[in-house]
């Protein structure tokens, strides 16, 4: 990768590559108010960095994504559409989970779904109304799973 590339150029390159990989799905920007709500929760966690993603926005601890919000306008892959009980357009937040909670969330049904690309990842459809306290708990748990132990222990809310 060219060290002189701007963030916008990197984002455009990744979007083009991802579109080819995801059967030419169309991605649009996530509603600013949804990004702001997630940002207000994610950036409270130690050393969190917000980054533009191939689609949407990611929040990362070091080089690991613990939350990713994206809006899929059309072309949602059929397996994911069935899992999310939607065929577009749809806004989702992706996060990591573990243990019994992972199994419950991946098998509960809408608003949760089980993406096939990571066995420890869960998607949540952001319908109205969104329970932002629940989202905060889920992304905090995701952070704690991926953060180094020294940072994870700084987070007040223990995982159950």
The pLDDT tens digits of the residues spanning 53-72 come to 888 899 999 999 999 998 87
More confident residue, 48 or 78: 48
7-152: CATH number:
3.90.1150.30
From residue 78, give the alpha-carbon distance in Å to each of 12, 18, 22, 92: 25, 17, 11, 15
Q: Cα dihedral sign for 79, 85, 89, 92?
A: negative
Q: Could you tell me which residues are beta bridge partners of residue 112?
A: 124
pLDDT band at residue 75, thresholds of 50, 70 and 90?
low
Tell me whether residue 90 is exposed, middle or buried, using C-beta atoms within 10 angstroms of its C-beta: 0 to 12, 13 to 18, 19 or more. Answer: buried
pLDDT band at residue 156, thresholds of 50, 70 and 90?
confident
Residue boundaries of the structural domains of the chain: 7-152
Give the tens place of pLDDT for each residue, 12-55.
554 444 443 444 345 568 889 999 999 999 999 999 999 998 88
Q: What mean pLDDT comes out for the span 100-119?
A: 89
Nearest to residue 72, comparing CAs of 23, 122, 142, 128? Answer: 23
pTM above 0.85, yes or no: no
More confident residue, 95 or 108: 95
């Amino acid at each position: 990768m060219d060290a002189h590339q701007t963030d916008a150029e990197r984002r455009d390159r990744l979007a083009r590559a991802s579109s080819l990989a995801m059967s030419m799905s169309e991605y649009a920007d996530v509603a600013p108010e949804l990004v702001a709500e997630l940002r207000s929760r994610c950036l409270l966690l130690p050393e969190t960095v917000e980054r533009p993603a191939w689609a949407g926005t990611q929040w990362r601890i070091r080089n690991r994504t613990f939350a990713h919000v994206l809006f899929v306008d059309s072309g949602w892959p059929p397996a994911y559409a069935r899992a999310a009980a939607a065929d577009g357009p749809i806004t989702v937040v992706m996060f990591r989970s573990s243990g019994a909670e992972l199994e419950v969330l991946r098998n509960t049904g809408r608003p949760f779904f089980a993406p096939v690309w990571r066995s420890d990842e869960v998607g949540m459809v952001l319908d109205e109304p969104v329970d932002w306290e629940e989202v905060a708990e889920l992304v905090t748990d995701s952070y704690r799973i991926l953060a180094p132990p020294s940072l994870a222990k700084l987070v007040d809310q223990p995982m159950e």
